[in-house]
Amino acid sequence: MAKQEDTFKKVISHAKEYGYIFGSSEIYDGLSAVYDYGQNGAELKKNIREYWWKSMVQMHQNIVGLDASIFMHPTTWKASGHVDAFNDPLIDNKDSKKRYRADVLVEDFREKINQKIEKDITKAKKRFGDDFNEEEFRSTNQNVLRRQAEIDKITAELTRVQEENDLAGFKQLIEDLGIGCPESGSKNWTEVRQFNLMFGTKLGASAETATDLYLRPETAQGIFVNFLNVQKTGRMKVPFGIAQTGKAFRNEIVARQFIFRMREFEQMEMQFFVRPGEEMKSYEYWKETRLKWHLSLGLGNENYRFHDHDKLAHYANAAADIEFNFPFGFKELEGIHSRTDFDLKAHEEFSGKKLRYFDNEINESYTPYVVETSVGLDRMFLAVFSKSLKEETLEDESTRVVLKLPAVLAPTKAAIFPLVKKDGLPELAKEIVNDLKFDFNVLYDEKDAVGKRYRRQDANGTPFCITVDHESLETKTVTIRDRDTMEQQRVAIADLKQILDQKTSFKSWLAKL
Ligand code: GAP
């Protein structure tokens, strides 16, 4: 089995085994691309959301929060362009009967060529050691140049067929590249068709009076339609931002890859309203600020890269993705879009209500421009979880599975163990739990030998294990073991709060941003 696939399978099974993610309604054989977060998953997800929320809303005086409804007036989606343009190009394989997104087939093909370049670079790095100059290698090595030219050609044609909505051209591109069905290899394709991604539903007591509604495909529109409500009631001055987290729904054609592409998912979005003409400065600021937020989690700087869009969405004048090195390669994690005044203008037009801002400083009224940052919470979860899962070989040649989650995000901050189940050790351990539980998520565990308990918490992602032994009774000290280094230190029970606070609190991590 390919190494990537193998790693990904381990991620999925670990997520289930340790109560992070279950398939939805599993007892009925599940529902495709819909997942439930278990006892640990719900905590990890909540912590990611909170780290994002605090970094956006609490740390910025000019950003406030919002919690808009999932149901919105149906005209919202006409105005936003989603009814007419929120489509994906789909293609079916006639032999395997599998359905794919045409653009994803081409992108995956292109990424495979890119992986070959990266492989050549890794090999050359090993061969030349410290003398290796990556930039020079990229610009002179014949294999790399040939492959890069191939990638550029594919990108140009993909952009063209998308921009011109040339569906026949799309199919031709797939055929020209010799792309086969990823499941069966068959190249027997149907025509490419456009498919709207919004889920429809109905609101109303009877079939005759019911109104057609959509489940929101993004949270952003809830922010736009509330722009003036928030600006006026919060007395916000441009530039300012509105942040929101919440569920979004898309009838994805291909929803594989676990929680990477789901039909029901959660977004964390922020719309930053600026003076017209100042959007590019703000766009650059948010690109940099958001990347810094991701890097702060310590999952490895080499796992992130920017991808500037060649094809811009109907509302954007600049757009970039922060891509992450998922177990199946680099893919979009977050989008940063300069959305111009498209949305506010469209809502003005469709609602007939003014959505303008009077800027006292320049004595002018205008429709603000918007820079958006939009990250999928579930995708963040997958990024964090997959990169944290490690299999390590220890000095004594034994192996351990350890989930090195950033401590600020870990579901349980510390596990407290009595070394043995007697001599008053459980009582003292429980006393510590009862004291720490007001500030931290902690758990008590007395089952099995202490070594086994350590391994259980390693796999669970718990950054600290605190062991109460006989010495604890006399000296009021305990050992605290670090999940990542496995080092143990004896510390005073009275210092535990401060130690955990410094290592795991939002405050400590936000201060490093
Ligand atoms: N308001 C802009 C917007 O929705 P997007 O690029 O379509 O832009 C933003 O989505 C982010 O939402 C993506 O970068 C991704 O992290 C997440 N996302 C989008 N579709 C998703 C899906 N089907 N499953 C999980 N996450 C998704």
| pLDDT tens-digit series, residues 392-428 | 999 899 999 999 999 999 999 999 999 999 999 999 9
CA distance 225 to 240: 15
* CB proximity list for 161: less than 8 A, separation 6 or greater: 167, 169, 170, 173
CA-220 nearest atom, ligand 1: 1
User: Is the pLDDT assigned to residue 265 strictly greater than 50?
Assistant: yes
Residue 327's identity, in one-letter code, is P
pLDDT of 207 strictly over 80: no
Can you give the pTM of this predicted structure?
A: 0.89
CA distance 146 to 123: 17
Model confidence pLDDT, tens digit, residues 159-197: 999 888 899 999 999 999 999 999 999 999 999 999 999
| Ligand 1 pocket: which of 195, 265, 272 to mutate (most atoms within 8 A of CB) | 265
DSSP letter string, 188-205: -B---EEEE-PPEEEESS
Provide the sign of the torsion angle of the four alpha carbons 83, 374, 9, 45, taken in this order: negative
In this prediction, residue 1 carries a pLDDT of 45
Cα torsion 356, 359, 360, 362: sign: negative
Beta carbon of 217 within 6 Å of any ligand 1 atom? no
- Determine if ligand 1 sits within 6 Å of the CB of residue 331: no
Q: pLDDT band at residue 310, thresholds of 50, 70 and 90?
A: confident
Regarding the beta carbon of 378 and ligand 1, being less than 6 Å apart is answered: yes
- Residue ID of nearest Cα to ligand 1 atom 20: 261
SS (H, E, C) 262-327: CCEEEEEEEEEEECCCCHHHHHHHHHHHHHHHHHCCCCCHHHEEEEECCCCCCCCCEEEEEEEEEC
Question: How much is the average pLDDT of 297-318?
Answer: 90
Contact (Cβ atoms closer than 8 angstroms) between residue 459 and residue 403: yes
Q: Is 341 in the pocket of ligand 1 (CB under 6 A)?
A: no
pLDDT tens-digit series, residues 473-503 = 999 999 999 999 999 999 999 999 999 999 9
Q: Which of 6, 3, 2, 10 is nearest to 386 (CA)?
A: 10
Q: Which of 434, 436, 445 is nearest to 501 (CA)?
A: 436
Q: Taking residues 310-326, what's their average pLDDT?
A: 88
Q: Is 343 in the pocket of ligand 1 (CB under 6 A)?
A: no
Terminal alpha carbon distance of the chain = 40
Report H helices in 101-141.
Answer: 102-128, 134-140
Name the residue with the closest Cα to ligand 1, atom 2.
Answer: 374
Which of 332, 371, 372 to mutate for ligand 1's pocket (most ligand atoms within 8 Å of CB)? 332
| Higher local confidence (pLDDT), 209 or 94 | 94
Asked if residue 334 has its Cβ within 6 Å of ligand 1, the reply is: yes
Q: Indicate the DSSP class of residue 71.
A: B
Indicate whether residue 376 lines ligand 1 (CB < 6 A). yes
- Band (pLDDT 50/70/90 cuts) for residue 271 is very high
221 Cα: distance to centroid of ligand 1 (angstroms): 14
Question: What is the C-alpha to C-alpha distance for residues 211 and 203, in angstroms, rounded to an integer?
Answer: 5
Quote the ligand 1 centre to 290 CA distance (angstroms): 15
- Give the atom of ligand 1 at the shortest distance from the alpha carbon of 321: 14
pLDDT of residue 33: 85
Q: What does DSSP assign to residue 58?
A: I
* pLDDT over threshold 90, residue 240: yes
Q: Letter for the amino acid at 24?
A: S
Distance, in Å, from the CA atom of 490 to the CA atom of 376, rounded to the nearest integer, reads 41
Atom 9 of ligand 1, nearest CA residue? 374
Q: How many A from CA of 237 to the centre of ligand 1?
A: 28
Question: Measured from the CB, is residue 218 less than 6 Å from ligand 1?
Answer: yes
Residues 120 and 144 sit within 8 Å (Cβ to Cβ): yes
Which atom of ligand 1 lies at the shortest distance from residue 217's CA?
Answer: 4
Asked if residues 272 and 239 have their Cβ atoms less than 8 Å apart, the reply is yes
Across-strand partners of 35?
23
Q: How far is the CA of 245 from the centre of ligand 1 (A)?
A: 12
The verdict on the CB of residue 250 being under 6 Å from ligand 1 is: yes
Look at ligand 1, atom 21, and give the residue with the nearest C-alpha: 261
Share of residues in the chain with pLDDT > 70 (%):
99
Tokens in use for 186? 């068959």
Per-residue burial over 472-484, b = 16 or more CB atoms within 10 Å of its CB, e = otherwise: beeeebbbbbebe
Backbone angles phi, psi at 25, to 5 degrees: 35, 50
Atom index in ligand 1 nearest the CA of residue 262 equals 24
Burial 301-319 (b: 16+ CB within 10 A, else e): eebbeeeeeeeeeebbebb
* CA of residue 150 to ligand 1 center, whole Å: 28
Structural tokens at position 212? 């057609």
CA distance 480 to 205: 59
pLDDT at 313 over 80: no
Ligand 1, atom 27: nearest CA belongs to which residue?
A: 376
Q: Which among 45, 32, 310, 9 is positioned nearest to 157, based on CA atoms?
A: 310
User: For ligand 1, atom 7, which residue shows the shortest CA distance?
Assistant: 218
286: nearest Cα among 324, 325, 241, 245: 241
Q: What is the residue-averaged pLDDT of the chain? A: 95
- Ligand 1 centroid vs 266 CA: distance in angstroms? 8
Centre of ligand 1 to C-alpha 450, Å, is: 43
Q: Is the model's pLDDT at 2 over the cut of 70? A: no
Rounded mean pLDDT, 281-288: 98
CA distances from 256 to 187, 216, 264 (A): 20, 21, 13
- The neighbouring-strand residues paired with 265 are 248
How many other CB atoms are there within 10 angstroms of residue 160's CB atom? 15
The candidate with the shortest Cα–Cα distance to 246, out of 77, 71, 22, is 71
Burial class (CB in 10 A: 0-12, 13-18, 19+), 7: middle
Q: Are 405 and 359 in contact (CB under 8 A)?
A: no
Query: How do strand 193-196 and strand 87-92 relate by DSSP bridges?
Result: antiparallel
Q: For the beta carbon of residue 397, count every other beta carbon within 10 angstroms.
A: 6
- Pairing label, strands 63-65, 240-249: parallel
Q: On the CB side of 278, how many CA atoms lie within 13 Å of its CA?
A: 12
Cβ atoms 478, 468 nearer than 8 A: yes
Q: Residues 459-472: what's their mean pLDDT?
A: 98
